[in-house]
A and B are shown apart, each in its own frame.
Chain A
Amino acid sequence: MMAETIPKIRIMKGAEPDLSAATYQIHDESHTIGNALRWMLMKNPKVEFCGYSAPHPSENHIQVRIQMYDKLSSLTALLTALTDLDSLCETVENAYDISLRKDKYEKWEEKS
Chain B
Amino acid sequence: MPFKASQSLHDPRRHVGVHAEHISNVSSTDYPGHYPDEDHSWDLVKFTKDLQVKVQRLSNRSIEFDLVGVDASIANGFRRILIAEVPTVCIEHVYVFNNTSVMVDEVLAHRLGLVPLNVDPALVDMKDAVTDQATDRNTLVFRLAVACTRNKLAPNISTTNPEELYTNSEVLSSHLQWDPQGEQAVVYADNPPAPTNPNIVLVKLRPGQEVEMEMHAVKGVGKDHAKFSPVATASYRILPLIILNPEKPVPAHLATKFQECFAPGVIRVDPRTKRVSVDEKNMRKDTVSREVLRHPEFEGCVELKRVRDFFLFNIESESFYPPERLFPEAIKVMRGKIATIRKAAEALLADSDALDGEVEGGAVAETRIPREAGGEGDVIMTEA
Judge if B53 is at the interface, Cβ distance under 8 Å.
Answer: yes
Question: How many residues of chain A have a CB within 8 Å of chain B?
Answer: 60
Q: A9-B348, A75-B349, A82-B338 are in contact. Are A33 and B77 (CB under 8 A)?
A: yes
Minimum Cβ distance to chain A for residue B290 (Å): 28
* Set of chain B residues within 8 Å of A96, measured between Cβ atoms: 53, 55, 65, 327-328, 331
- Chain B: interface size category: 35 or more
* Set of chain B residues within 8 Å of A30, measured between Cβ atoms: 80, 223
Judging by beta carbons under 8 Å apart, are B32 and A44 in contact?
A: yes
Judging by beta carbons under 8 Å apart, are B40 and A13 in contact?
A: no
Minimum Cβ distance to chain A for residue B339 (Å): 7
Beta-carbon contacts under 8 Å, B30-56 to A? 31-33, 39-42, 44, 47-48, 51-56
Chain A contact residues: helix, strand, loop or mixed: helix
Judging by beta carbons under 8 Å apart, are B73 and A105 in contact?
A: no
* Set of chain A residues within 8 Å of B197, measured between Cβ atoms: 112
* A 70-105 binary contact with B (CB < 8 Å = 1; else 0): 000001101100111111111111011111100101
Judging by beta carbons under 8 Å apart, are B57 and A106 in contact?
A: yes
Judge if B381 is at the interface, Cβ distance under 8 Å.
Answer: yes
Given contacts A11-B364, A99-B54, 11 further A-B contacts (CB under 8 A): A9-B384, A33-B77, A43-B40, A44-B41, A75-B352, A79-B346, A82-B345, A87-B44, A91-B48, A92-B67, A99-B55
List A residues at the B interface (Cβ < 8 Å).
1, 3, 5-11, 13-15, 17-19, 26, 29-33, 35-36, 38-40, 42-45, 75-76, 78-79, 82-93, 95-100, 103, 105-110, 112
List B residues at the A interface (Cβ < 8 Å).
31-33, 39-42, 44, 47-48, 51-62, 65, 67, 70-71, 73-74, 76-78, 80-81, 84-85, 129, 197, 223, 324, 327-328, 331, 334-335, 337-346, 348-349, 352, 361-364, 366-367, 369, 372, 375, 378-379, 381-384
